[in-house]
Every structure is written in C-alpha cells, then in structure tokens.
Structure 1
Amino acid sequence: MERSWLKNYPAGVPADVDIQQYPSVVALLEESFQKYRDDKAYICMDKAMTFGEVDRMSVALGAYLQGKGLKKGDRVAIMMPNVLQYPVAVAAVMRAGFIVVNVNPLYTPRELEHQLKDSGAQAIIILENFANTLEQVLPATPIKHIVLASVGDLLGFPKGVIVNFVLRSVKKAIPAFSLPSAVRFNQAISEGRGLTLTRPDITPQDVAVLQYTGGTTGVSKGATLLHQTIIANLLASEAWCKPGLRKEIEGQPVFICALPLYHVFAFISCGLLAMRMGGVNVLIPNPRDIPGLVKEMGKYKFNIMPGVNTLFNALTNNPDFAKLDFSNLMIANGGGMAVQEAVARKWLAITNCPIVEGYGLSETSSGITCNPTNSTAYTGTIGLPMPNVEVRILDDDGRDVPLGTPGEIAIKGPQVMAGYWQRPDETAKVMTPDGFFKSGDVGVMDDRGYIKIVDRKKDMILVSGFNVYPNEVEAVAVEHPGVLECAVVGVPDKNSGEAVMMYVVRKDPNLTKDELMEFCAKNLTGYKKPKYIEFRTDLPRTNVGKILRRELRDEAVRDMSKAA
C-alpha cells in the first residue's frame, strides 16, 4: 500500500531503516560495549556502572547460566524493578543464547505461576524483595535455577551493605522467604568469571524476548519478539529521535528511566535505546515516590524522558518539580495510554518541552507511531507511522475505511511479533490473512497520515445506539480544576443499554457530584455525559500506571447486581 504519510516525515528521517545491519540484539549491544566502554551506562542510587562493567558482568553471568546446563532457546525469567542488576541480566541471558522473559515484580503468586508455566522458564533472576512470591508457587513451575539479587549488590561498599540492612531490618521491605537452592547474584557472577561463555550462533529469526501482555484485555499472553523484531523497533526509534535532539548534547545523552524496564516501552525507549546511543540511564526503582523522583531528577541535566500520562500528571502537580532545570530536556515521549491535553498543557508550561505522544503495544515491540520529536505543541494524536511500518484502519469486515472514519488500527512491519508464545489460536485471532496485526484499538487517520486513538474496541460504550468513547469524556472531566484524574466505564442500563459511569480522584476535596455533572453537561452532548459519578482516593493501575478500566467496570457491574 502507498504510505502517504511519508511526505510529512521530519527532515532526515528515512522511510525505512536497514534492519539487516545487525544479526541480533547481541551484536548491537556488543558494538556499544566496545564503542562506549568507559562511559557510564546506568546510574542507580548515585552509583554508576559503565558499559565495560555491564559487558564483563554479563559475560560472567551468561557463562554461569550455561554452566547450569541451560541450552540455546531456553527461557530465563527476570523479575526485578529498575536496579543495576537488570541490564546485566538481560545482556547475560541474550549473549548466552537464551530467551528473556520479562516479569512484573509486583505480580501476585497466581500471576507469576501462570507466566512461569506458560513460558516454560527454567531459571529466574529475581530481587529478594519478591522472593516470597516465588516461594509460594515454585513447586508448580518448571524453574530449576534461581539467582537471587539484593538491591545493594552492585552499589559498592559500604553503601550496598547499608542499603540491604535498611531494607531488611529497618523498613522490613523483604518478606520472609526460604529458597535454599538459590544462588546469590554476586556469587553467580564470581563463579561465572571462572568459566568461558560459549558464543551461540544467534540469527535474526531467533526469539529474543517473551513480552507478556498487560492483561488489560484478558489472560496475559507472551508476545514473541525476535532479535530482528527488536532491532527493527530500536533502529526506527533512534531515527525518529534525531530531529528532536535540536542542539548539541554536552557529553552523553541522559535518560530519566522512571518507567519499569520490564515493560516493553521502557525496555526499548530507555534500556536499549540509550545503550545504542551511548547514553546513560538514570534508573528510578520506585517511580510512585514522586518527591523522591523529583529529588533524583534534580541531580542531572537530563535530555530524554519517556513517561505515561499518570506520571506526567503527578510530576506537574508536585510543587518542587517546577523548580528543576529543564534547559537540556529535548524529548518527553508519552505512551502507554492517552496523554490528556490538560496534562500536556501544564507540562509544556513548566518544562518548555512538549510531550510527544506515541503509540505501541507489547505485540509491536513498543512504539510504531509517534509525533515528530521536533514538534512544538501537543497535537492530540499518536502521530505518524514510524519507519518500516504500514498502518491500515479497518472496519469489522477487515476492509479499509475512508480517511477520517473510525476503524480498528492494523499494523504490519518487522516490528510486529512473530505471534503469541505457543498460542496459534490466539495469534490467528489478531492477524489478517495479509499479515496485519489487529490492535483492538479504534483510531482515525487524517489526510496527513496522523492517527488519533478514539478508544479500545471493548472500552467503547453504547448509549442508545450512540458510540461513547471514554477517552473523550475523561479528557473533558480533567479540564475541571477540581479533578486530579478520572476513569470512565460503561455500565448496564435498562433504558439505554449502557450508561456512562465516571470514577474520580479529586484535587479539590470540596468538589461535588452536582458541580462536576454540570461541568460535563456544558462540554458534552447529552448521551456522553456521566449518569453516575463516584469519588475515589485512587484508581487501580497496571505496572506502568495505565488505569484498569476493566477492573472498575467489573466492580460496578457486581455492585449493581447486588443492589438489584
């Protein structure tokens, strides 16, 4: 198909990037290890780790894992937040020829058991803070080898000892556990240094990562990302970044990595992209601690910061955030969920750097559309398809809809997964006969090629035959100065089929339902305005801060059933 959007690309961005230049992610990483050997690669809790150190430690850890009898293609789970051991573990697993299984450390035992069994992981590298969860399900999983990390492992002496003591004995942040077969992270590195890493032949078609879907659309499935898939996304992301780096960076590019690296967005846009560009990632282990995050950001002249709407919103509502030095901030990349205009406006006023919104999924190895990084304002769209990507907007019968008409966003390109891990039936449901991945998101493409997300297909609310898209209602509600954030869901209604229900976290404790109803009535046509409003102190979220509308909807339906 004709990619008409290419004529609106920023100057210097190619239509396609050459994904054949590296046979694997390993080849790309090893090039960076040599090229930037003495430069800082990661900083966590003021401790820096160089590219050379990541190189040496990952070779040792990879050799250790091979020494346990693991073979090429075996799966190794990594269950850690943003700590220094994470990038070492990822590089080790890939260099040894194994497959990375990214695991959310906040998983419940039930969720962890599902992922370990589904992936068939034989080994796990896990932070001790979450070892209790693993202990509960270990006998039911295929795990044979456990590498156990502590937050202080790589922080040096005496800091590492002090941090571990405080977490274990003062904050009681590590629930009691018993994993007698586990080997400590530093011990595994030490043992691995006495072994030789066997270099497997890794091809572009080999599996690199199993990236499990967030579960917002049902059971969590493993998106199978090949080495070629990740290379394609990474090189396209690099090309897309360049116009936004509008002035010479002094020294290395500095990334603020507040999003969790085990999520595909940060995995590509922080972890791998910074290593590709010779940048340094400032790792934030706990981004929910906004005052702590702001304090950490204040230590660096940062250039690039990927984030989600909830994070940008929380930062702009912190009074100390506005006091930071934003003179070097060139790219604030928004994704994961819709960026609301009110949040984008406030961010721009404080930082003088617009949020550049993009869009991607686990199934597309992160971003596949994005606004130009040299944009000067919020556009309300998810931008243009990135290099190597084809996008179509389809109706329910799989036919292309006219420009300006809502339809399902379908994506084709080397960035798209090879399928769901060992689920050909589920893969078949989301792929068209000509190889397009059906995203489940409803979008509209304009004549320039810019795409606007209208909503997820299943989040759409049908009120008396009229389509209501929660994103639109939420965007209106957060314009009210008394609203901090909100979520809109559809609930059963005997008169209209469905009705609009809004859950609200107040900024102003005196805000009333009647006042908010009146505000919505002024800004939304009748069938779109909320029929019900409920105030909450917080809203349920996924690991990257995306609000779980499904959970709220299920709860509302249960409550209504009881009331009836």
Structure 2
Amino acid sequence: MEQPLAYLNHRTHHDWLIGYDSSEFHQKAKVLYFQLTQLSACDTSPKIILAEREPIQFLASFIAACAANCQIFLCNPDWGEQEWHQVFDLVQPDIIFGQINSKLKNFSLFPPSPNSTHSRLPSLLSAIEVIPHSPFIMIPTGGSSGKIKFTIHSWETLMASVEGFTEYFQLKQVNSFCVLPLYHVSGLMQFMRSFSTGGKLAILPFKSLEIGETYQINPRDFFISLVPTQLQRLFQNLELITWLSQFQTVLLGGAPAWDELLEKAKFHNIRLAPTYGMTETASQIATLKPDDFLNGKINSGQILPHTQVKICNHQGEVLPANQIGNITIQAQSLFLGYYPQICQTKNYLQVDDIGFLDEQGYLTIVGRNSDKIITGGENIYPIEVESAIRATQMVADVCVIGIPDKQWGQALTAIYIPQDTNVSVSEIKTALSHQLSKFKIPKHWISIDNLPRNSQGKINRQELQKIAILNLSSTEPNPNPFPTREGAKNI
C-alpha cells in the first residue's frame, strides 16, 4: 500500500481538482510537509488540530500531516466555545491549522501541550527522524448531543475503505463531486477515493449547489454523496433534479431516508445508492447498487468486500438469514479506538443498530436498540412507525419517541411537521389504522415548525424529549393513555 507522499508525487502534474488549482494544492502540501518534518517532537509526533475552512488549505494540511506521521485531529471550524473547550481539554494540541481563536476565550491560538517545547509551526526547524509508524487520523463523531469524540483511524484503515469501495463498484478510478464537509468522514473519504485512484475531485459548498451553481463536468462520470435532508432540498429545484439524475451514482447516507424521499428519487430515475456505515468504519460498509434501487429494492444493500457483518442474538450466537438481531461488524477499515484509548486486540464492533441479512446478503436496518420504545410490554422501533406516518403523505417530517408514562412505561409520541395545517390528527390516525397495530399508533401528537437535525440530517432526540415533556406538561394527563390492544401481554 502506497503512503500519502507517494500518491502526492504521482499526482503532481495532473489537473485533477475541479474548481480549485491543483498545483497550489501540491505546492502547499510539500511546503507544509517539509516544515512538519523539521519540527523537534522529542519521543512523539506533534498533535495537530486541523480546522481550515478553505478546501485547498485543509487538504494540503491533511496530506502533509499524514506524510510526516503527525497525529491529526479533524475539526469543524464552526464549533462553538463549549465544543472547542472540550477539544482542547481532550487533545492539548501542539499546532493549530485554521483561525479558531475568535471562538475561544482565555485560550492562546497555539496552546503548547505540557510535554512539548514548541507552540508554533515555524518556531523550531531542527532536523528529526520521522517516526516510522502510520499516522493517526482522528475523525470527530458526536457533538449534536453529548460530548465530541474522536475515532482513531490510520492511513491503512482509510485505504481499506477505499479498496473495498472500488472493488464493490468495480472501478479503477473514482471521480467524486463533494458537497459535504471535509472534516467529516463522508467528505474526507470522497477525497481519499479520488486522490488515491487517480480520479477527479470537484468540491463545492452545498449552499452554492442549492442555489444552482455547478461545474462544467459530465455527471455520468461522477459519484456524489448526499445526506437525506440535502436530497430533499435539491428536490425543490427542477433543474437540479435533472442534473442529479445524470450522475453515475448518488450515494445517500448519514441518516435513514424516509420512504417518500426514496419514492421521489425513483420517480425521477435518480441512480440512488443508499448506504450504511459510520465514522468508526471509515464510511460505508454496505451499499445498495443503483440498479437494485431502481428495480425496487429498498434496503442498505450488500456488504462491501473489506467487511464482514454478522447478525447475533443477545447471547452472541449468529442468527440465520431473515432473523432480526444485533449487528456486529468486522472490517479492515475499522477504527482503532476512541481517542486517547487505542484498542490493541478488539477486531470487531457491535453497534447499536439491529437488523437482518436476507438469503442474498442484503442488509436491512430495523432500528436502534437505544431508540427502542417499550410500551405495555411491547417493543416498538420508531423507524417502522415513522415510515408509516410519512407514507400517509400528511406530514413533511416526523420523529417518534417515547415519553415516560406511569401506567405503560413509555407513551408513544409523534413530533411532526404537518404537510397541511388543515389536516387533523384524527385523519392521520385513521390512515395509520390500516397500516399499523393499534399499540403502534402514537398517543401524543405534537406539531412543530422544524425538527432539530444536525448537518448530516440526524435527529437530536434529546432535544425532542425536552420539547415533548414541555408541551405535554401543560396538558391534563389522560388516565387511560392507550387504547386496549388485542393480545396484550405482561400488563
């Protein structure tokens, strides 16, 4: 496997960055690499926070740090003061690439770590021997609720993801049109695929795309990656729908897509490829190919070659096809731990998601264990109820949560954005009665203007809990919060 500097040298004379100057990228990367390899770091490599806004500067800094075997932490420059304090307490960086000082109070721009004698990039230029291990690449996860965590990856784990992707799609070169943040695994891996395979990379802020800005490319040669909320917004522009339908593949991930969104994509003949993956696996480990999607399949697709997925019961026993259980992942792209703890022995990851594999090896995600709602002894997974509610076409968006209830344990609660304010909750319930069992129809319905989502489209359920409790606390509790259910047990 070639290392970052080798790939950089291969691409020096190629104009492969669309919308930016490829030669500028190469020049900046080599200058930064030279400076970083001159820094004295005692027994450890310097810890670098990378929070550059400008794509060329970000990518040049990333490659230079990887080539110089530095520890690099990818960060969102738009994090607020609270998030940055978390990061500084955890990382204690030696070097910062990016202007984040305006976000912080009582912090210098380059705060030295306790074990380091340097604080600024150009301050020491004594020659050192480059540390002979693969660089650690810390990619953020979380932050929408709870503390920010960094997954520890290496050049090898990211390249394993690239190789699994290219083998699955039977490609030698990958051309990517990137509208996702480069500090996020979904944006970074688009760069990694194009950079390492000799492909082209177009980078454009999603806000620019949304108002109709594009590049003069042939979309049939490109992959584009979107999260569901981005796809929904692009559907508001007929010209962009036509443009999107020309792409070789439209990868869709980051959050579950709702049925109505998938149906719209199929109607417009968009070569959609729903994916399943996470930061811990260096992006996707299962993908539904576009031809399967257009032929009517709706799941997460088959498992990529670099990955093994098992479905297990609570005792850890592997379940046969079509049986729902806990998802366990083994992958060459699997992360090495959460910073600063590196796991030396664990080579698998049991995730919170539950699902099943069919006889052809297609993966279907049923829900998340942590989202499971238990009401009157019945297990309910919100994704099933949400899909049924969206299928009524009476809501623009919805999230189903459980609210504590003395009699039933949890009361099923739908927080939704109405499609038409004239449609009543009774009408929605009537439509659902043909699709769901009575106990799966939400008791409480709360209409709001916007659901709190992060940039990847994931719902902030903690915030919804607060909204629901505040809303329901002002109403008189119903002594009989659920209708009688046939065959109810353990009540």
Global fold match (TM > 0.5): yes
> How far apart in 2 are the matches of 1:513 and 1:527?
16
Contact 2:175/2:199 (8 A) holds in 1: yes
> How far apart in 2 are the matches of 1:356 and 1:87?
26
Equivalent position amino acid for 2:89 in 1:
K
Q: Does 1:138 pair with 2:107?
A: yes
CA 560–372 in structure 1, closer or farther in 2 if over 3 Å, else same: same
> How far apart in 2 are the matches of 1:478 and 1:210?
37
* TM-score relative to the length of structure 2: 0.85
Contact 1:230/1:415 (8 A) holds in 2: yes
> How far apart in 1 are the matches of 2:288 and 2:127?
42
Match of 1:379 in 2: 297
> 1:307 aligned to 222, 226, 241, which one?
226
Equivalent position amino acid for 2:397 in 1:
E
> Which string of whole-angstrom CA distances, capped at 9 and with x for unpartnered residues, describes residues 66-99 of structure 1?
5554576322111245633221121121122212
Match of 1:73 in 2: 45
> 1:528 aligned to 440, 463, 471, which one?
440
> How far apart in 1 are the matches of 2:151 and 2:273?
26
CA 58–324 in structure 1, closer or farther in 2 if over 3 Å, else same: same
- In the TM superposition, residue 531 of structure 1 has moved relative to its aligned partner by 1.6
- In the TM superposition, residue 498 of structure 1 has moved relative to its aligned partner by 1.2
Match of 2:450 in 1: 538
| Secondary structure in 1 matching 2:148 | coil
Equivalent position amino acid for 1:311 in 2:
Q
- In the TM superposition, residue 39 of structure 1 has moved relative to its aligned partner by 1.6
Tell which deviates more after alignment, 507-516 or 480-489. Answer: 507-516
Contact 1:230/1:365 (8 A) holds in 2: yes
- In the TM superposition, residue 560 of structure 1 has moved relative to its aligned partner by 4.7
CA 41–298 in structure 1, closer or farther in 2 if over 3 Å, else same: closer
Q: Does 1:358 pair with 2:268?
A: no
| Secondary structure in 1 matching 2:89 | helix
Equivalent position amino acid for 1:209 in 2:
I
Match of 1:168 in 2: none
Please tell me the root mean square deviation across aligned C-alpha atoms, in Å. Answer: 3.2
Q: Residues 222-237 of structure 1 correspond to what in structure 2 (within 5 A)?
A: 222-237=150-165
CA 365–120 in structure 1, closer or farther in 2 if over 3 Å, else same: farther
Q: Does 1:553 pair with 2:472?
A: no
> How far apart in 1 are the matches of 2:29 and 2:129?
13
Equivalent position amino acid for 2:32 in 1:
L
CA 113–487 in structure 1, closer or farther in 2 if over 3 Å, else same: same
Equivalent position amino acid for 1:78 in 2:
L
Match of 1:16 in 2: none
Contact 1:241/1:373 (8 A) holds in 2: no
Q: Residues 26-41 of structure 1 correspond to what in structure 2 (within 5 A)?
A: 26-27=4-5, 29-30=7-8, 32-34=10-12, 37-41=13-17
Match of 1:501 in 2: 413
Of Structure 1 and Structure 2, the greater helix share is in 1
> How far apart in 2 are the matches of 1:219 and 1:57?
33
> Which string of whole-angstrom CA distances, capped at 9 and with x for unpartnered residues, describes residues 87-143 of structure 1?
1121121122212211122322111221232133222212x4x5421x326259945
The number of residues matched between the two structures is 468
> Which string of whole-angstrom CA distances, capped at 9 and with x for unpartnered residues, describes residues 328-376 of structure 1?
x1111111111223212212322x2331111111111111111235535
Q: Residues 143-542 of structure 1 correspond to what in structure 2 (within 5 A)?
A: 200=130, 202-203=132-133, 206-215=134-143, 218-242=146-170, 254-268=175-189, 270-285=190-205, 287=206, 289=207, 292-297=209-214, 299-302=216-219, 303-324=222-243, 326-327=245-246, 329-350=247-268, 352-372=269-289, 374-377=291-294, 379-423=297-341, 435-542=347-454
> How far apart in 2 are the matches of 1:421 and 1:42?
34
- In the TM superposition, residue 458 of structure 1 has moved relative to its aligned partner by 0.4
Equivalent position amino acid for 1:356 in 2:
A
| Secondary structure in 1 matching 2:292 | coil
- In the TM superposition, residue 379 of structure 1 has moved relative to its aligned partner by 2.4
Structure 2 residues without counterparts, runs of 5 or longer: 478-491
- In the TM superposition, residue 453 of structure 1 has moved relative to its aligned partner by 0.8
> How far apart in 1 are the matches of 2:238 and 2:448?
23
| Secondary structure in 1 matching 2:86 | helix
| Secondary structure in 2 matching 1:225 | strand
> Which string of whole-angstrom CA distances, capped at 9 and with x for unpartnered residues, describes residues 263-292 of structure 1?
112211x1111222333333233x2x3x74
Contact 2:33/2:68 (8 A) holds in 1: yes
Contact 2:255/2:456 (8 A) holds in 1: no
Contact 1:298/1:324 (8 A) holds in 2: no
Contact 1:294/1:320 (8 A) holds in 2: no
Match of 2:489 in 1: none
CA 296–69 in structure 1, closer or farther in 2 if over 3 Å, else same: farther
| Secondary structure in 1 matching 2:463 | helix
> How far apart in 2 are the matches of 1:551 and 1:482?
23
* TM-score relative to the length of structure 1: 0.75
> Which string of whole-angstrom CA distances, capped at 9 and with x for unpartnered residues, describes residues 195-251 of structure 1?
899783544xx34311122246843322111222111111111222337x9xxxxxx
Higher RCO by CA contacts (8 Å cutoff, separation 6 or greater): 1
Match of 1:123 in 2: 95
CA 96–298 in structure 1, closer or farther in 2 if over 3 Å, else same: closer
CA 560–418 in structure 1, closer or farther in 2 if over 3 Å, else same: same
> How far apart in 2 are the matches of 1:276 and 1:446?
33
CA 360–217 in structure 1, closer or farther in 2 if over 3 Å, else same: farther
Tell which deviates more after alignment, 506-515 or 475-484. Answer: 506-515
| Secondary structure in 2 matching 1:367 | strand
| Secondary structure in 2 matching 1:111 | helix
Contact 1:80/1:262 (8 A) holds in 2: no
Match of 1:13 in 2: none
Equivalent position amino acid for 2:195 in 1:
M
> Which string of whole-angstrom CA distances, capped at 9 and with x for unpartnered residues, describes residues 510-543 of structure 1?
3433333333333222122222222222222223
| Secondary structure in 2 matching 1:547 | coil
Contact 2:66/2:155 (8 A) holds in 1: no
Contact 2:176/2:223 (8 A) holds in 1: yes
